[in-house]
Amino acid sequence: MKDESKIVVAGRHPEKYEGAVNPPVYHASTIVSKTMAEWEDSRRRREAGERGVYYGRVGTPTSFALEDFVTELEGGDHARVFPSGIAAIGTALTAYLNAGDHILVADNVYGPCRRLCERFLARFGVEHSFFDPLDPGSVEGLFRPNTKVLYLEAPGSLTFEMLDIPRLAALGKAKGATVMMDNTWASPLFFKPFAHGVDVSIHAATKYLVGHSDAMLGVVSCTDAAWPPLAECVVDLGQCAGPDDVYLGQRGARTLAVRLERHQQTALALTDFFWSRPEVDCVMYPGHPRDPGHDLWKRDFTGASGLFGITLKPLPEAALRAFVDRLQFFHLGASWGGYESLMLVTHPNDMRSVSKWPYPGPTLRFHAGLEAAEDLILDFEAGFQQMRAAAA
Residues 9-54 have pLDDT tens digits of 998 888 988 898 888 999 999 999 999 999 999 888 887 778 888 8
> What percent of the chain lies above the pLDDT cut of 90?
90
Yes or no: say if 336 and 218 are a contact pair by the CB < 8 Å rule.
Answer: no
Yes or no: say if 79 and 197 are a contact pair by the CB < 8 Å rule.
Answer: no
Q: Could you give the strand order of the β-sheet that contains 280-284, starting from the edge strand earlier in sequence?
A: 280-284, 307-312, 363-367, 342-346, 331-332
CATH number of 3-253: 3.40.640.10
**Active site (annotated) includes residue 54:** no
**Active site (annotated) includes residue 208:** no
Active-site annotation holder among 6, 68, 107, 110: 110
Alpha carbon distance 367, 380 (integer Å): 13
**Active site (annotated) includes residue 55:** no
Tell which wins on pLDDT, 99 or 42: 99
* 3-class state of residue 128 by DSSP: strand
Q: What is the pTM of this model?
A: 0.95
Yes or no: say if 193 and 183 are a contact pair by the CB < 8 Å rule.
Answer: yes
329-376 pLDDT, tens digit per residue, is 999 999 999 999 999 999 999 889 999 999 999 999 999 999 999 999
Alpha carbon distance 337, 385 (integer Å): 28
- Which strand (E) or helix (H) includes residue 218? strand 218-222
173-210 pLDDT, tens digit per residue, is 999 999 999 999 999 999 999 999 999 999 999 999 99
248, pLDDT greater than 90: yes
Specify the pLDDT at position 54.
Answer: 86
Beta-carbon contacts of residue 229 (< 8 Å; ≥ 6 apart): 95, 96
- Which of 98, 139, 152, 105 has its CA nearest to residue 121? 98
> What percent of the chain lies above the pLDDT cut of 70?
100
Domain ranges of the chain: 3-253, 256-391
Query: Mean of the pLDDT values across residues 68-87?
Result: 97
Query: Mean of the pLDDT values across residues 106-130?
Result: 96
Active-site annotation holder among 192, 207, 326, 365: 207
Active-site annotation holder among 68, 132, 182, 291: 182
Query: Mean of the pLDDT values across residues 214-242?
Result: 96
Yes or no: say if 199 and 222 are a contact pair by the CB < 8 Å rule.
Answer: yes
CA distances to 274, 366, 376 from 380, in Å: 9, 11, 6
* 3-class state of residue 360 by DSSP: coil
Active-site annotation holder among 16, 45, 57, 144: 57
Specify the pLDDT at position 199.
Answer: 98
- Which of 131, 68, 76 has its CA nearest to residue 352? 131
Q: Where does 147-217 show beta strands of DSSP type E? A: 147-153, 178-182, 200-203
CATH 3.10.560.10 fits 256-391, yes or no: no
Q: Would 3-253 and 256-391 be classified into the same CATH topology? A: no
**Active site (annotated) includes residue 313:** no
